[in-house]
Amino acid sequence: MINKVPGLRFMADALDLQSGPGRQHLLRQHLLTSAEEITYQLEKVAQLKSLLEDAAADRPDGKQLLESLKHALSEVHDITGTLTMLQSGLIPDDIGLFEIKRLALIIDRLSGILHTLQCNVVDFKDVSEIITILDPDKQRVPHFYIYDAYNKELADLRRQYDALSKMSSTPEDEQKAEKVRLQCLEIEDSVRESLTLQLKPFSQQLLKDLDALADLDIWLAKASLALRFGLCKPVVGHQNLIDHNGNSIEHRGETQYHNLFNPAIEDALKAKGKKYQPVDIMLDDAPCLITGANMAGKTVLLKTVALAQYLFQYGFFVPAESAVIVPVDRIMNSMDDEQSELQGLSSFAAEMLKINGIIHASRTNTRLLALIDEPARTTNPQEGLALVNALLDMLSQQNVRSLITTHYSGFDTNCRRLRVSGLRTDEISSKPTIETINDYMDYSLLEVHPAKDGQLNEEDEVPHEALRIAAILEVDEALLERAKWYLMSSGKQH
């Protein structure tokens, strides 16, 4: 999944997880679809984000406490195996008991830190009893062996063994020592058995704590990520209508982003000393058509909307200044990728199959977000336009929340339309080049309203900036001149 969504890998890699269990939990995470679940997750991230922001300011040792919190998390081993073994009554060996003691001590330390920070984001059960069982000498260090304190006889036998094995050993002594050693082993086994009995009632609790540790690790990493990239906590927009069978039948409500940006691209631009222009966009439960010049960022916009939706439904903050997002059951894309060529499909065939998937899904009872980049662009314009018209009709009928970009003009449907502002005509002082074209591009979106007769104004038609952009890209002049000549003469024919 993570590799299929553009930009998600970037965010996942940037996630600074400390513990093994945290990493495993992240890999197992599925797309959250219920508003309650998402709200819960986001609330936890928000709690830790404010902890990260305030701890250092609120108390002099705040920074240090946060560091030791992370350090404690980094020490957690995944001991699910040992704990399930314990749960089923099997006797762990010394390594297993060591791991249990170590985990209990880490939990104890973490609870202490969280308590000092007055943070109740996770609730660890009291582990002091476990520690008492495994630390009879009360040393509070994460070391373990079958302590002498467990059994008086064991202590005596060990002393005997030491005395016997110290002497320059005669065969007789060796025999005696071996006998004592075997006696020790027997007692050690019985101690392990009794420890297992004492610890068994705690196995469930420790398994839960291990999950809680993984959660804490992930929330903390998500909170750091939010601070690093300036992500915001989205508001969950949920207006599910539930039918009498308890199925959600419709999802009303608007998804709205204010100053949406793409973190990976912003990072890359920043490295070049450039700025990313964030955009505002709203999606309701209907298709929305986006037009705009080449290089106007339509594809990036689609990818960013997809990324934000995934991040939201994986419980991350999203790359925007503010956002209201409606959860969906499935996010479906039709965007260019290299996979189709590997499968031996033409770009048109691959695209049609993806669109077919979206149409089929739209007929089922699932809440969809469909993001379709320039459908039917690789076929002839007449049939292409017809296909896109049909697609828009179908998506409208099924109330599919969707974004469709296109260069075609002359649509018959009445769906919502947005246009990327495109090249700024007013303030071009010097000639834009391929390096500076970003500076002359206005990526903001304008709502396009058809006039009363349903016809679009001329300026709201699909912008004709292909030749201008090609010129900026320093495409051969003779070619462009010739293209212009064709354009003129076709205009005359009409």
Partner 1 sequence: MPFVDEILKYKSLSIVGLEKNTGKTECLNYVLRRLEHSGRRLALTSVGVDGERTDRVTGTAKPETELYKSLIFITSEKHFRQRRISAEILEISTRSTALGRLVTARALSRGKVMFSGPADTLWLRQLINRMDAYNVDTTIVDGAISRLSHGSPAVTDSMILNTGAAVSASITKLISHTKFVYELIRIPVFEGVGSVGSVSGLSGVESLLTRESGLYALDENGTIHDLNIPSVFLLKDHEQDLFRHGNTLYVTGAVSDRMLDFIRMQKGFKNTTLIIRDFTRLFVKPETYRAFISSGHQLRVLLSTKLLAVCVNPVSPAGYVLNSEELCAGLSEVLQIPVYDIKKQ
Residues that bind partner 1 (CB under 8 A): 20, 77, 93-95, 98-99, 142-146, 158, 161-162, 165-166, 181, 184, 188
Which of 488, 323, 289 is CA-nearest to residue 392?
289
Sole residue written with tokens 């349903």: 454
Min dist CB 213 to partner 1, Å, is 15
For partner 1, the closer of residues 180 and 223 by Cβ is: 180
Burial of residue 482 (number of CB atoms within 10 Å: 0-12, 13-18, 19+)? exposed
Cα 79 to Cα 60: distance, rounded to the nearest angstrom: 35
Instruction: Tell me how far, at minimum, the Cβ of 272 lies from partner 1, in Å.
Output: 28
For partner 1, which is the closer residue by CB, 126 or 153?
A: 153
- Residue closer to partner 1 (CB basis): 154 or 372: 154
**Cβ nearer to partner 1, comparing 5 with 26:** 26
Question: Closer CB to partner 1, residue 71 or residue 143?
Answer: 143
Q: Phi and psi at residue 405, in whole multiples of 5°?
A: -100, 150
Q: Tell me whether residue 118 or residue 169 sits nearer to partner 1 (CB atom).
A: 169
Question: Residue 102 Cβ, how far from partner 1 at the closest point, in Å?
Answer: 8
Query: Which one, 97 or 225, has the nearer CB to partner 1?
Result: 97
- Among residues 131, 84, 135, 136, the alpha carbon closest in space to that of 106 is found at 131
Angle at 264 between CA 279 and CA 417, to 5 degrees: 30
Task: Give CA–CA dist 472/294, Å, rounded.
Answer: 12
CB of 416 to partner 1, least distance (A): 53
| Residue (of 316, 319, 308) closest to 371 by Cα position | 308
Residue type, 163: A
In the complex, the smallest distance separating the C-beta of residue 27 from partner 1, rounded to whole angstroms, is 17
In angstroms, the CA 25 to CA 73 distance is 14
- Nearest distance in Å: CB 206, partner 1: 17
Q: Which is nearer to partner 1, 43 or 93 (CB)?
A: 93
Give me Rg for the CA atoms of the chain. Answer: 32
Min dist. Cβ of residue 138 to partner 1 (A): 15
Kindly tell me which of 158 and 419 has the beta carbon lying closer to partner 1: 158
* DSSP conformational letter for 232: B
Helix (H) or strand (E) holding 278: none
Structure tokens at 124: 């660890």
In order, the DSSP letters of 44-71 are HHHHHHHHHHHHHHH-TTHHHHHHHHHH
Q: With respect to partner 1, which residue has the nearer C-beta, 167 or 349?
A: 167
Measured distance CA(455)–CA(447) in Å, rounded: 15
CB closer to partner 1, 188 vs 266: 188
- Minimal distance, residue 183 CB to partner 1, in Å: 12
Interatomic CA distance for residues 257 and 318, integer angstroms: 9
From CA 272, how far away is CA 252, in angstroms rounded? 41
Q: How far is the CB of 29 from partner 1 (least distance, A)?
A: 22
Handedness of CA 112, 24, 40, 308 (dihedral sign): positive
Label each residue of 292-351 as H, E or C: CCCCCCHHHHHHHHHHHHHHHHCCCCECCCEEEECCCCEEEEECCCCHHHHCCCCHHHHH
Spatial distance between the Cα atoms of 433 and 275, rounded to a whole number of angstroms? 17
Nearest approach, Cβ of residue 95 and partner 1 (Å): 6
Shortest distance, position 317 Cβ to partner 1, whole Å? 29
